[in-house]
Each structure stands twice: as structure tokens, then as C-alpha cells.
Amino acid sequence: MRIACWQAACGSPDVPHLLARLREAARRAAREGAQLLVAPEMTVGGYPLRPGTLARAAEPLDGPHCAAISEIAREFSIAVVHGWPEDDGTGVYNAARLVAADGGTLAAYRKAHLFGDVDTSRFVPGDHGVVQARLGGLTVGLLVCYDVEFPESVRAHAMAGSQLLVVPTALMRPWEFVARTLVPARAFESQLYVAYTNWIGERGGLDFCGLTTVAAPDGTRVTLEDPVEGLLLADVDPAVVAKARADTPYLLDRRPELYEGLPARLG
């Protein structure tokens, strides 16, 4: 399956403007033969969200912004992963949604590991570690940004059968090593593809570093090295996953019984 990751420049947080830009990215991705378009964290409203923008952008799963993205998917017959502030009536979550090419919702995930005040002051943490769906013959899992920096989160996806892990992100400087080192390591050690899609530019006092990356389970990767808006195209092959798991059998050689009884937290 060919995927396209949209490395997007920070700009106006106006939701209609962002949706128009997402529509153009979907048009270009479909023209390039992609079956899935992945957008950055908090696609609706931008990241970080200011209070006024949050109030305008937050909505339930069946809200009008999500419906507009479903229409984009239908228009170009392309699946889409996007972020948005999900308001379920009890709290607001930093969420990601996988939309099928027919516009239907395949999966929705709430960020479990919140990063600093930019997340904890606005969002409630999700309480589901593994959220998956089938797409294009692959088992696709969802995480958001900081989640991928926890190896147990990615390993849980691997053990549950995820072959492609999609991670909308908002990685800022000076943590470029996350994209360059941690993301490829997660893909290799858990034997799956990781599609890590970032913003570029400055917003809300944060400087986003780009480096959108698709890391493969065989140790290879493709990355948008230049801090420019654009699409990163990559082909995801389940045969590569199967071969990597056979060649480097981390998942088979695990000994989880050795780790039972460890404390949930330090201190």
C-alpha cells in the first residue's frame, strides 16, 4: 500500500483554511497513487491549540469538521488519518481518526501520554493503548506524537498484530533525535512500519522540526530532511514485515515472565 505523509507548514489556525489545505494535500496524494494520507497532530486547529481555537475546533466524533474530512476522503477515494480535539461531553482529548476512502470512520484513538503543559492544560488522557483497523490488506494502528516515545506502546501494537503504526505528531526542536533515532528504532525493535508525520515552522512559541519519516522494520527509512511543506511517499509491504520478523525474531524471543511484578511507576 502506498502512503503519503503530509508535512504541513504552521499557518492560520482557522479551521476552514486548514481543511482546504488538507483537501489539496489529499488531491495531490491521490494523484501520486497513495491509498492513505497521514496528516500531523491536531490537524483541525493546529498545535498547540490556543483557548479560542480550541473552543471553535473541539467537537465529537460525528461533528462537522470530522464530517468535512470524511467528504475529502470520499471525494478523492483516499483514506485519511487526521488529528482533532475530540469533545465527548465529559472532556476534550487529543485524538486521531482513521477515515476510510468511502468516508466511514475505521478507528479513533485518544492520546494516552500527554506532553507537558501544552497537553495537560487542555486535554484528558486516553485510556486505550491499542487501537487498530484493517486497511488495504494491512493492520493499521494509531498513536499520537509522545506516545511513540514509550517503547511499550509500540511493542503492544506489535504483539496485537499491527503492521503499520501511524503517528501524527508535533515534534519541536531541540528533540530532532526522536525522528532520527527513536522512530527508526521503534520500527526495527517491534518489527513494523512507523509513519511519523510532523509540522514545520513556529507556532505558539514552539519551533516544529519537520523530519517526517516512514521507518521500515528492516532498518531502512525515508525522511523529508528539508523543512518544507510537502508529501513524503512510501510503500508499505506486509512481506517486508513478515521477513523482518523472521530475520530478527524479537517478538518470538521475548520473555515477559521476567518482567512480572515490576512497579507501575518509579518512586
List helix spans (H) across 191-267: 238-247, 250-253
What pTM value is reported for the model?
A: 0.97
pLDDT digits (tens, 9 = 90+) for 75-129: 999 999 999 999 999 999 999 999 999 999 999 999 999 999 999 999 999 999 9
**Distance (Å, whole) CA 28 – CA 220:** 25
Percentage of the chain beyond pLDDT 70 is 100
Residue 145 is among the residues annotated as catalytic for this protein: yes
257: number of Cβ within 10 Å: 7
Whether 41 sits among the annotated catalytic residues: the reply is yes
Mean pLDDT of the residues in the chain:
96
Report the amino acid identity of residue 117: D
Grid coordinates belonging to 126: 486516553
The CATH architecture that domain 2-252 belongs to is: 4-Layer Sandwich (3.60)
* Structural contact between residues 45 and 18, judged by C-beta atoms closer than 8 angstroms: yes
| Catalytic residue (choose from 10, 59, 66, 111) | 111
Q: How many helices (H) and strands (E) does the chain have?
A: 9, 14
Examine the residue annotation and report whether 243 is marked as an active-site residue of this protein. no
CA-to-CA dists, residue 206 to 112, 113, 126, 174, 226, angstroms:
21, 19, 24, 10, 18
Exactly one of 5, 10, 66, 145 is catalytic; which is it? 145
264 — pLDDT class (breaks 50, 70, 90): confident
pLDDT of residue 265: 82
Task: Give strand ranges (E) for the chain.
Answer: 2-9, 36-38, 79-87, 92-99, 105-110, 132-135, 138-142, 164-168, 193-197, 199-203, 206-209, 213-215, 221-223, 230-235
Whole-number Å distance between alpha carbons of 24 and 38: 13
Active-site position among 41, 59, 86, 149: 41
Give per-residue pLDDT as tens, 43-54.
999 999 888 899
CA gap 181, 84 in Å, rounded:
27
SS3 state of residue 158: helix
Over the stretch 137-187, which tens digit does the pLDDT of each residue have? 999 999 999 999 999 999 999 999 999 999 999 999 999 999 999 999 999
* CB half-sphere exposure, 51, CA atoms < 13 A: 1
> What SS3 string covers 60-103?
CCCCHHHHHHHHHHHHHCCEEEEEEEEECCCCEEEEEEEECCCC
pLDDT at 202 over 80: yes
Strand, helix or coil for residue 152: helix
Cell numbers for 187, please give them: 520500527
